[in-house]
Amino acid sequence: MSKTVKAMVIAGNGTNCEREVAFACRQAGAEISEIVHIAELLAGRVNLEDYHLLNLAGGFLDGDDLGSAKAGANRLLHARVAGSEQTIADQLKQFVADGKLVMGVCNGFQLMVKMGLLPALAGKQQQSCSLTINDGGRFEDRWTWLKVNPESACVFTRGLEKLYLPVRHGEGKFVTDSRETLQRLEEQHLSVVKYADNDLQPTMVYPDNPNGSQAAIAGVCDPTGRLFGLMPHPEAYLHRTHHPRWTREDLPEEGMGLWLYRNAVNFIREELL
């Protein structure tokens, strides 16, 4: 069993994309890919330590009522696992310290940023960035081009140059607490993916940049490259029929989003097993 890649998606309290994320992990080669309801974690029947890849899926945790993922982050920080003094945040800390992989998509990315897991500059888990209301003031579903930073340490985007994926959010505008933070993100190549125009140039112009994100940032990683989050949905482009123009373009069977999951699974096989 030591050669088994184990992926988990946490579900419950308003996650929505858990099924397709679990499917993506399986398609990418993970032998085990499980959807685990948060009640199972809180009851102590399932522990994060038994997995290699943790997925925080898109959705609306607690309706995003207090701001995207805020109430969700609060739960992970404060709710105790039955029969212990441990929180899920504690388990997560250990998971990260063990060098395992975490990917947050959309609401999952918001959750990671608001818990301080991303970008975790200088290894410190303290919130330095945020995702706030789109400049347009509204939720939007539209496909976007992403330019991948080739110099990033991000494990998930290794060897990739570009991605075409849908955004589906109302609070996706990436902002930092200071110019300095932004500068460090750029210098350390933690700004992994940026909204780009048709020529693959990062852009601040709507709708190619759908939300007004600072420096066109769509996703960031931590300095180890093992924690990664992004607003666009890779699990929404696994097969050519997911592409909005599949009826008119010659496309490979496999969708671009799958590449991220495959990189993760390959990394686990090579480095963690």
Determine the Cα–Cα distance for residues 106 and 26; give it in Å rounded to an integer: 20
Rounded Cα distance between 195 and 183, Å, is: 18
Angle at 180 between CA 100 and CA 152, to 5 degrees: 40
Q: Which of 44, 139, 180, 273 binds other proteins (CB under 8 A)?
A: 139
Give whichever of 51 and 237 is closer to other proteins, judged by the CB atom. Answer: 237
Sites for other proteins among residues 146-205 (CB under 8 A): 166, 168, 173, 175-177
Angle, nearest 10°, between helix axes 107-114 and 70-78?
A: 60
Residue 52: how many other CB atoms lie within 10 Å: 24
Query: What is the three-class DSSP state of 168?
Result: strand
Determine the Cα–Cα distance for residues 59 and 109; give it in Å rounded to an integer: 11
CB-based burial, 198-227: b 16+ in 10 Å, e otherwise:
eeeebbeeeebbbbbbbbbbbbbbbbebbb
Q: Shortest gap between Cβ of 142 and other proteins (angstroms)?
A: 6
Active-site annotation holder among 106, 129, 154, 221:
106
Binding of other proteins at residue 11 (CB under 8 A)? Answer: yes
Q: Does 245 bind other proteins (CB under 8 A)?
A: yes
Is position 206 an interface residue for other proteins (rule: CB under 8 A)?
no
Q: Which of 31, 32, 133, 223 binds other proteins (CB under 8 A)?
A: 133
Segment interacting with other proteins (CB under 8 A) among 70-78, 145-153, 198-206, 259-267: 70-78
Contacts with other proteins by CB under 8 A lie at 11-17, 19-20, 23, 37, 39, 42-43, 58-60, 62-67, 70-71, 73-75, 77-80, 114, 127-130, 132-143, 166, 168, 173, 175-177, 212, 233, 235-236, 238, 241-242, 244-248
- List active site positions: 106, 233, 235
